[in-house]
Structure formats: C-alpha cells, structure tokens
Amino acid sequence: MPDPRLRPVNGGTAHSLVSLRGIAKHFPGVIANADVDLDIRAGEIHALLGENGAGKSTLMNILTGIYQADAGEIAIDGKPVRFGSPLDAIAAGIGMVHQHFKLVQAFTVAENIHLGWGETPRLASARQLEARTAAIAEKFNLAVRPDARIHALSAGEQQRVEILRVLARDARVLILDEPTAVLTPSEARELFKALDAFRKSGNAVIFISHKLHEVLEISDRVTVLRGGRKVATHETKDCDHRMLAGLMVGREIVLGNYRDRSAEPGNDARPTVLELRNVCADDQRGLPALRNIDLAIRAGEILGIAGVAGNGQRELSQVITGIRPLVSGEILVGGKAVSHQDAAAFAAFGIGHIPEDRLRSGLAPSLSIDDNVVIREYKTDAVSRGPFFDPRAANRLARTIAADAEVAIPDFGMPVRNLSGGNQQRLVARREIRIARKVLVAAYPSRGLDIGAINTMLRYFVELRNQGVAVVLISEDLEELLSLSDRIAVLYEGRIMSVFDAESADMETIGLLMGGQTAAAPATSGARS
C-alpha cells in the first residue's frame, strides 16, 4: 500500500502555483469542458477524478498547451499566461506523464531523457549523456539504468524515465495520468516516495486516477469533474469511497459480490470448454514463462487468475487465445486438440480476448474507429457482401457496438488512438464479448476505467457467465477477484500454485501463494478437476 496521506507544506496555506478560471472547450457535438475553475497549490498532491469523458484529459491538455481553451484563462503564480504549444507549458514549469508512454523504444534511457531538450550538450558522447542522466536520477531519487534500452525495461522503469524527462526540464507541476495502472504494488510505493519528495520541495502534483483507495491515501485535495463541469473540490480528509464515487457518477455505485450461484449447478457439473495439459511456453525473450500448466476452464464460470505482474499472466492469456506458440504440452477446446492453431482459429472457436495492452495488442492505433471495432467480423455477413467489404455495414455495426459500450463518438472515421484509454477499453471489451461464444479471456480489464465503467464491465462478465460462457479474469485486484470469481488460480513464476473455490479463499492465503509460499495453501479443488 502507498505511504500514509501526504500533507501540503505550510499547513495547507501555500499559494496557488496554477489557477484555471472559467475554462471551456467544445468539439463538434461535444462539450468537453464548461466553466471549470481549478487551483493547484504549492506543496500538495491534488487528485482529479471523473468518469471517462468527464473532461479530465481535455482540461489537462489545455493546461499543457496541447489544446487552446475556447474561453477562460490560466495563471501561473498569479500571472496570466497563454500556452500556444506544449513547449510553452514546459517552459512555464508544467509537465505531464501520459498513461501511454511516449518513449523511443530503441533508444537508451539517457538518449530519451535528453531528446529534444535545449540543455542537451552538442556533440555529447553516450557516456556523457549517461553521466548526466545518473546525476538527474540521483537528484530526484528515481533509480534508472542510463544505458538500458527502453524496450528492455519494465513498465515501472519506463514510467520513471518519463517522470525524469519532465522533472529534468524544471517542472514545478507534475501531471500524472493513471500512474499506477501498469505498476506492481512495490513499484507504486516507490513512485509515491518520489512524489512525496517532489511536493516537499514546494512543487505540486496533479494525480489523475480511478483507484479511489490511492486517491484517499496520498492526495491532499480532490476535485471531481462530471460531464465536463467541476462538481466539487474537497479536502481529502473529509472524503470516503462512497462519497467520491457518488460525486463522479451522480448516483450511488454498489460493487457487491457477484457469486450468487444458488440456482446453478456446482463447478464439477459444468463441462470443460478449454483445457491446458502440461503447457510450457516462452516469453518474447525466449525465456521460460509458463511451466507445466495444467488448467481446466469450465462453461459458465469465472476463473480468476491471481498473481503479481510478470509471473506469466500475459503469456497465459496469449496461449489461451492462440497468439503465443507452445514449447510443449497441449491445448484442447471442446475436447479437441488445437495446440498448433493460430489466433484467427481460436477466435473462430468462440474465444474472445481483452488484452493487457489494449492500445498495442487490442487495437490498430492509426486505423479508424470503424475499422478497429469491426475488425473481428470482417469475414462475416455483418460487414461483408461475399468477398467485398461493405463500409456502410461496418459503420452500422460499429455504431451498434459503441452504443452497447456506452461510448459517445463524434467521428467514427477518426483514428482510434484519439479516444481516451477508458473508452478504448470499453470498445475492445464489447467487440470481444460478441465473439466469445465459449471463452472470454480478460487481462486486467479494469485498468484505466472509472468506478462506474468498472461496475458495468464486471456485470458484462456476470451476464456472459450466466449465459454459459467461461470467463478467465486476470487481475491484480484481489477484491475484484474475490467478489467476481467462482474459482481462483494463483500464478507464480509461471506455475499454478493452487486452484480453489473463491468462496473458501481469503486474501492472506492468496497473498502467500502470490509470493511463492505454499505452507498455508488452502485445500484445492484440483487444477484439472
């Protein structure tokens, strides 16, 4: 868990580093922001909450110079400013780390830190850039490997590089968009320590997150947006989960236990729809990632996969959906061996996939929303007439899927990367649910979603389960797994530690198994039973 709540310097009386007054922004058919006021004080962590489409990203894009407001003004240290570009905002001390990192994967950490920076020495050698990077990292207490290539780093390490890029340019206000979405608990703790040091120097952090427990733990004040307007700003000490959720969505949100199966047959009575027998697979580096996996997935159940990120979850989801080849072992769908089939064949079998990285694995960022939403059904009568693709039919289907996903889209022809991360996730989810006749594999489906969207997503899974579809839910959120799953399998270093009924599970036992300890393991229902 993060450190206890951090408090602003000067007893909460610090001056405003940034003031936004009456900010408004309109897009065709959409009011993104309307008359928004926001003050960010020196020495505070200020959380910004709101559902997807509430206007958070637009407001921050205005503050960072990506967009220009249609009305309103921005003041830094009480002086009005106008940002014509992100360079103007950076020069004024405003820096943002986006949810999807913008690093050059083939470059080193040092090269990424210095890329496009006016203070980068001309004709500097790689060793000089690495030395400068090491000094910057030490100054801000963010450990990095200056000579490492970005593609070889974990998500947490890449995030530190993004933050260092901003801080090296003398940022006084650091904006973080869903900063813990791809971090392990230990990486999140390290991030919060760095934020604590940053704010104690009289700087400020704008913390955008859907994880209410983190907001309550680390922020000093909270501002909530809804429908493009500011609903309220409160001291965090005066808030709780229910209050914030209600402010965000405008109604009471109840996330309960979804495992009421009193009228359903027990696990043992449900047929196995997909089975892994002694499956081994390598990761993208060619190193063992899955080790002798035996797992039976049954019709009409939600099978939760628990584990700390990096223990084979990605490879397991890819194996089950035909993306990653096996080194050895066997996969059966409906009792038939399909181990050497490709991803298209697995989709034809009725296996849907909500991937961990929706933007790179679930979508083609440069293609239109139309193309991305119907891509799984190109060969069906829904979008084709014989061998010919029908754009009008594709648009009709895309609009239907978007409506089911409750995503408002002004232009279906624009690149899908222009949508918020949460809306991308919702579209991918509804697209994959359409083809999941037998199994839906959902890897971290709640990442980047607001509490209302999470509630809707989880109910999608319950509806699928109740229709007889198997759902494989991969998550680091143990509360989510315990409230939703019928059985839980714990994955550690590519091995299934145990599989047991969720009703008999507890967090302490799961936590021990996630750490590789087996002494306190519960009685299992059998990995293949």
**Residue 263 reports pLDDT greater than 50:** no
pLDDT for residue 521: 40
pTM of the predicted structure, to 2 decimals: 0.62
pLDDT for residue 184: 61
Question: What is the rounded average pLDDT for all residues in the chain?
Answer: 86
Confidence label for 189 from pLDDT (cuts 50, 70 and 90): confident
Do 214 and 290 belong together in one domain?
no
Do 239 and 383 belong together in one domain?
no
Do 382 and 326 belong together in one domain?
no
Beta bridge partners of 312: none
Domain count, the chain: 3
pLDDT for residue 316: 95
Last residue of one domain, picked from the residues 225, 254, 283: 254
Compute the average pLDDT of residues 417-439: 90
DSSP sequence for 154-213: -HHHHHHHHHHHHHHTT-SEEEEESTTTT--HHHHHHHHHHHHHHHHTT-EEEEE-S-HH
| Residue 476 per-residue DSSP state | S
Compute the average pLDDT of residues 32-43: 96
**Residue 2 reports pLDDT greater than 70:** no
Confidence label for 1 from pLDDT (cuts 50, 70 and 90): very low
Do 78 and 35 belong together in one domain?
yes
Other Cβ atoms within 10 Å of 506 Cβ, number: 11
Confidence label for 259 from pLDDT (cuts 50, 70 and 90): low
pLDDT tens per residue, range 282-325: 988 888 999 999 999 999 999 999 887 778 998 999 999 999 99
Task: Yes or no: say if 334 and 296 are a contact pair by the CB < 8 Å rule.
Answer: no
Compute the average pLDDT of residues 71-99: 92
Residue 19 lies in a domain: yes
Do 463 and 495 belong together in one domain?
yes
**Residue 275 reports pLDDT greater than 50:** yes
Residue 342 lies in a domain: yes
**Residue 388 reports pLDDT greater than 80:** yes
Residue 176 lies in a domain: no
Do 374 and 478 belong together in one domain?
no
Residue 168 lies in a domain: no
**Better pLDDT: 456 or 174:** 174
pLDDT for residue 264: 52
**Residue 274 reports pLDDT greater than 70:** yes
**Measured between alpha carbons, how far is 305 from 505 in angstroms, rounded to an integer?**
13
Task: Yes or no: say if 451 and 210 are a contact pair by the CB < 8 Å rule.
Answer: yes
pLDDT for residue 267: 55
Specify the amino acid at residue 60: M
**Measured between alpha carbons, how far is 310 from 157 in angstroms, rounded to an integer?**
13
Confidence label for 37 from pLDDT (cuts 50, 70 and 90): very high
Do 332 and 449 belong together in one domain?
yes
Do 371 and 238 belong together in one domain?
no
Q: Of the given ranges (2-11, 32-41, 382-391), which has the lowest mean pLDDT? A: 2-11
**Better pLDDT: 508 or 80:** 80
Confidence label for 260 from pLDDT (cuts 50, 70 and 90): low
Do 415 and 275 belong together in one domain?
no
> Which residues lie below 8 Å from residue 363, measured CB to CB, with a gap of 6+?
372, 416, 417, 424, 428
> Which residues lie below 8 Å from residue 388, measured CB to CB, with a gap of 6+?
none
Do 375 and 317 belong together in one domain?
no
**Better pLDDT: 152 or 249:** 152
Q: Which percentage of the chain shows pLDDT scores above 90?
A: 52
3-state per-residue secondary structure call for 362-408: HCCCCCEHHHHHHHHHCCCCCCEECCEECHHHHHHHHHHHHHHHCCC
Do 375 and 345 belong together in one domain?
no
Residue 181 lies in a domain: no
**Measured between alpha carbons, how far is 380 from 435 in angstroms, rounded to an integer?**
11
Residue 520 lies in a domain: no
Residue 244 lies in a domain: yes
Helix axes 451-466, 421-435, angle to 10 degrees: 10
Burial of 78 (0-12, 13-18, 19+ CB in 10 A): exposed
pLDDT for residue 54: 86
pLDDT tens per residue, range 440-496: 999 988 776 767 777 788 888 999 999 999 999 998 777 788 889 999 999 988 999
**Residue 523 reports pLDDT greater than 50:** no
Do 9 and 32 belong together in one domain?
yes
Structure tokens at 475: 């998550």
Q: Which domain, by its residues, includes 375?
A: 361-420
pLDDT tens per residue, range 392-415: 999 999 999 999 988 889 899 999
**Residue 8 reports pLDDT greater than 70:** no
pLDDT for residue 12: 42
CATH classification at residue 26: 3.40.50.300
**Measured between alpha carbons, how far is 304 from 498 in angstroms, rounded to an integer?**
12
pLDDT tens per residue, range 322-346: 999 999 999 999 999 998 899 999 9
* Centroid of chain to Cα 428: 13
Residue 139 lies in a domain: no
